[in-house]
Chains A and B, each alone.
Chain A
Amino acid sequence: MSESRLEVFLARIYVDQTAREQFLADPRGEAMRAGLAAQEIEQVVNIDRDGLELFAHSLGHKRARKHGNQKNQHA
């Protein structure tokens, strides 16, 4: 189930700012500590950093809108 380990890893760096900052500071080390397979480590080391920051930022805005009691924010 290496693939699901990758999904867990991605969910964490998308949502958790501390995890994301640790990953961006040491991508290979964090990927290895997460137990990703060798090929997956190479892929996440070369992650689309701009996209990661923008996606994480948009998630933060989305959560803020939801907490602002706006129902029906769907993708």
Chain B
Amino acid sequence: MSADRFGLGWRPRLAAGILANLDRIDIVEVIADDYFRAPRHERRALQTLAAQTPVTLHGVSLGLASAVPVETRRLDDMARLCSEVAPEFWSEHLAFVRGGGIEIGHLAAPPRTEATIEGALANLARAKQIVGIAPQVENVATLIDPPGSDRDEASWLAAIVRNSESRLLLDLHNLHANAVNFNFAAKGFLARIPVERIATIHLAGGKWIGRNGAQRLLDDHLHDVPDPVYELLEEVAARAPQPLTVILERDGNFPSIESLLVQLDRARQAVAGGRARTPHLHRHEVAA
């Protein structure tokens, strides 16, 4: 039996479907920020959910990948919620989300430099100190080649993961989108990052957008997972010896819960296919 797990992002519109299908869902990822200021009854409901099924907390607004320290009050919010919910783990993006008091309103890819590597490492150390557990860190999608960068995404990401206690939450649609938008090979990217540090995988979909003739793939979480993302998932499963947690994210344009579960089943098949390609790496699963 495999130790790989497959789950869904918790959204209010999906709640009933998720609760009715917990036999097909191994783990649920909850957006932490939705609960920082939530009323007590909503936080209690989250605690109840966590008592029923494995839960992870996912942050979207810390802005860890910045030369500027994350504000302590934001880390305190995460620490308080982690203390209440006792998630299996928590995660955040390697993004910057504000500057000079301006909230960008989205996860922006920072300039890929030594300064943002050092800033991210310092922020991750503070996050572990205040929350008590190091977050898993997620790669972000970007529509703009990050200005001010002096290195590529793979080397920047690898430096942060190799020099921190954080494991990697690899978003495969973000990787796919960046690869097609900026013309690099996604599988080559996998060869340059420490795959043994991948703990979690995100799957999602997106759409092509254009302006003045320029076309880019937008990671919008409003569409089904495309074929190249499943192919990347199989590739990760073939390369990574450790168990993986795979989470499907959907933020809107919601299909039926069955449609999402079918996509999760396809993710299971992709992981099994990857594991089968490299059985020597996965003997622990055969023995389990």
Q: Which residues of A contact B (CB under 8 A)?
A: 1, 3-4, 6-12, 14-16, 40, 43-44, 47-48, 50-55, 57-59, 62-63, 65-66, 70-75
Contact = CB atoms under 8 A, between A and B. Distances in A.
Per DSSP, are chain A's interface residues mostly helix, strand or loop, or mixed? Answer: helix
Given A55-B142, A72-B11, A75-B141, A44 B147 contact: yes
B93 A75 contact: yes
Interface string B1-41: 00000000101110000000000000000010010000000
A54 B209 contact: yes
Contacts of A66: 105
A70 to B, nearest CB: 6
Given A10-B147, A43-B147, A72 B111 contact: no
B191 to A, nearest CB: 25
B234 interface: no
B100 A57 contact: no
Nearest to B210: A54
Interface stretch (B156-164, B211-219, B238-246): B211-219
B85 interface: no
Contact of B105 (A7, A12, A62): A62
Given A6-B148, A51-B144, A52-B144, 5 more contacts: A3-B115, A7-B66, A72-B31, A73-B221, A74-B9
Nearest to A66: B105
Contacts of B221: 73-75
A12 B214 contact: no
B104 A51 contact: no
**Which one of A15, A70, A75 has the highest number of Cβ atoms from chain B below 10 Å of its Cβ?**
A75
Contacts of A11: 96, 98-100, 102, 104, 108
23 contacts: A7-B110, A8-B102, A10-B147, A11-B96, A11-B100, A11-B102, A15-B102, A15-B103, A15-B104, A43-B149, A50-B211, A50-B212, A53-B212, A54-B209, A54-B214, A55-B142, A55-B143, A57-B211, A58-B209, A74-B58, A74-B60, A74-B221, A75-B219
Interface of B: 9, 11-13, 31, 34, 58, 60, 66-68, 93, 96, 98-100, 102-108, 110-111, 113, 115-116, 119, 140-145, 147-149, 181, 209-212, 214, 216, 218-219, 221, 249, 251-252
A48 B218 CA distance: 16
Contacts of A71: 12, 34
A65 B145 CA distance: 25
B67 A7 contact: yes
B252 A72 contact: yes
A73 to B, nearest CB: 5
A11 B214 CA distance: 22
Contact of B31 (A14, A16, A57, A74): A74
A11 B98 CA distance: 6
**Which one of B60, B111, B210 has the highest number of Cβ atoms from chain A below 10 Å of its Cβ?**
B111
Contacts of B115: 3
B252 A7 contact: no
